[in-house]
Each structure stands twice: as structure tokens, then as C-alpha cells.
Structure 1
């Protein structure tokens, strides 16, 4: 079946996996797909490596939630009820996070910055690391897709490679969840001068970068496009809505055409 036939099936699946090892043929197909698209896919499949990646991503989540500016951006992505989901048709429907009651209560409290200001002052918030740890522990693999170069053209080529990779994973019964926020923060420190981050946050991110580079190769001349967790799991119970193409895409042409 052509990859295009899987576009309607492609989705983000945030359900925990079963920690089933990534099958060799699936790993080979994903790696080959990336290479054929001019990209590189680095996979972590060993349990020790996955556990460390989970700890690193968890620490990144904690930093993001406990930073006033990053917290604001993070919470702005979430759609909190059905009315908001239908009205905006973008962002992350909170139902797609598939949280249990305890975790849902926690993120609802964390939604409002005043609830976190005191926790930040005393250096708390360790519980915010648990979500990523549990998700990665239940995964089959973690993958990082990168392309040579850091120019806009490189990112455009990377977008095509990402589309093909996601569709290939879908065609092989793998579910995909991006966990990319930390990569973007690391790039902001490395190539963006740490804009919007305070010195303590920059130092923490550099330490996390050092740890991550021991597991996943870091290539300064490559753009790291996305970090995903791959797993075998049932289809998601809820899918986020998306806008109609006509609301966000216009084709240039002769006036009146």
C-alpha cells in the first residue's frame, strides 16, 4: 500500500505502550525510510538507555513546567474541554493525554501559575518528572530524526522526511508520540543564545544535553527535528481535531482565479 494511503490513519498516540521490544524488521524499515529521505534516525532500544532517556525527558518537563515563560507556552497548547476543542480545532485535547484521575487533577492544578510559584521557590516539582519516565519505560524505542544542515531548506527537507517516517511507522502498526520540547530548548541554548531562559535554566539544560549526548549522537551540523517514542498499542480512544485546510492554506495565482 502506498504511504499516502496511511495519511488518514496517522495520529499521535499518547497511550502507554507495552514495552514490547522493537521488532528488527520494523527498526530496519524506519532507518531505511529516514536514509532514503536524506535524514538520519538514531534509535534507543536497550532498557538501560530508555530509562536514562526517560529521566532526562522528565527533568526537561519539570524545568518547562516550573519556568513562568515556558509554563505559559505549555499550557496555551492544551484544550481543556469539549467546547474549546470544537471552537479552536487546534492544540492538544486534554482527553488525548489519556491521564488517570490523579494525573488529570495534577495537571489541572498546574494549569495556573500561582499554584506553582511557591513550589518553584522551594525547589519542588519532582513529581512532574514521572509522566515522561513512565511513558518511555512503556515504549519499544525512542528515536531522534535529524537532517544535515540548520537552514530553512534543511528544515523543509526534514519535514518531508518526518512525514514519511511517521507514515512508515503507522503502516507497520507502530504508534508515535512526539516528545520534542527538550530538543527545541537545547537548540535554543546552542544556537539561539538561550533567549527567554534564565542562567539557572540554561545551566540545567546544558547538563541535560551532556547526559543525552551519551546515549544519542549529537551532530552540531545537523538539525534535530523531532524526538519520538515508538510503541505497540491500540489506536487512541480520542483524536485531536484539526482545522480545515482552507482555513490555513492559500494558493497564489492570477487575481480572480
Structure 2
């Protein structure tokens, strides 16, 4: 599996953004990167916001022609609010989306993105993607402003027809480092809401994945499944963040996303 960074531009301005990219790769650099991908690989395209590149459908087609088995976008899905664009991406060969949704309502989500109207566009984009046949997962960054509403976010995901809802902790670098006090919620307050979200997922048939870091106090070392907190929530150690926003220098590889969301990459997993 390979992750390909398409540039730092984004049409959201999330309060927790950890984007460290400083320039967009040239067309030739992208072509060279695609040629370096093994024909049987899964390719994860990230930004910034990858849909801001007008050549994205062409890049996806080129990847599929090269023999890439599955293409997944990490996106805010706002451009997919135009049904024709969602259909164009599906036709080009996009198989799945990992979409950032950080609230169950417009007020909550738009507060996190700093863009009025972004919630309506993202929700519409997810709906269009599902209708176009793409597999969709939602990633929510848990903050002090949304942690009480995690079960509602799972409910929203089920209504939209998503496969997975994942909750992750903020990466306190980049813009997020300057807004720590308005972002971080204490794990003791978050845990019971994570439990409610997981129970909601079980009732609705939606897979709920939880970043183990959400059960830790700031500065604590990671716990194993056998310790209090993580084991209580039945958190898998594989559940690393799958960010819709661009990551910093400690960006994890696309293998993390495959471990978290196998059904997004392997059609055989869908029947399980």
C-alpha cells in the first residue's frame, strides 16, 4: 500500500489541522510517484484536500491503468456535494473515501472546520459518494467541543450509509499546537461517550473504531489491551489515526488505514 500526498491546499481551516506540507508536487513528480507504485498496491491519496486538484480524476485513471487495485481518498468530501463530480470520481476508479466529519450538526462541524456551510456540503458529498458506489468511512477528531455527541455522529454515519466511523485524538502539531486549550478533552470525560458511541454502532450495525490515545491522559504512555481504559473499551491496538487532514512529519503509512478499515480496501471483507 502506498500513500501519495497531493499538496497542502485545503478548503477547510480545521482548528486541529496538523498540515506540515509546504508545496504541491508537480505533475511530473506525481507521475513518477504513480510509476513507483506496484501494480497490485492500494493507493491512498491525501492532502491538504485532494479534490482541489482538477487533475484528480485523471490521476486516478492513470493509477488504475497502471494496475493499482484500489484507490482511496482522504477528503472532506465537500466537492462531492456536486453529484456529477462524485460520479466522475467513481467512474475514474475511486473505490473508497475516508471523510472527516467532526460533528453531528452544522454548528458543531463548522466550528471545527472554521467554514460556514462545510457540514452541509460534506454530508451531501458523502450521500453522493455512497450513491455512486464508493465505500465510505467517517473519521471524527474528538475534541472538548464534540466529545459529548459521539453517539450522535455514529447515528449520522448510519443515516448516510457509511461503513465505519472512527474516532481519533488530535495531533497537537501545526495549527493544533496553538489551540490546545480549545481542543483537548480529558480522557476521563471522554471514555463514557466513546462507550456510548460503540454501543450505538453495535445497535445500528456500524463498525466503530477508537484511537487508543483517546483513553490516555496527556503525557501518559500508551496502554495495552490488558490495562484499564483500553481493555474496558475493547480497543484494538491496530486502531491508529486515519486522518482526513494532512499529517505532519510523523505521518503514518497507508497500511494503518488498511488495518483500521479493511472493508474499504478489500471487497471480500464486505461480505463479513
**Considering the TM-score relative to the shorter chain, is it more than 0.5?**
no
Name the TM-score, length of structure 1 as normaliser: 0.28
Larger Rg: 1
Return the structure number with greater helix share: 1
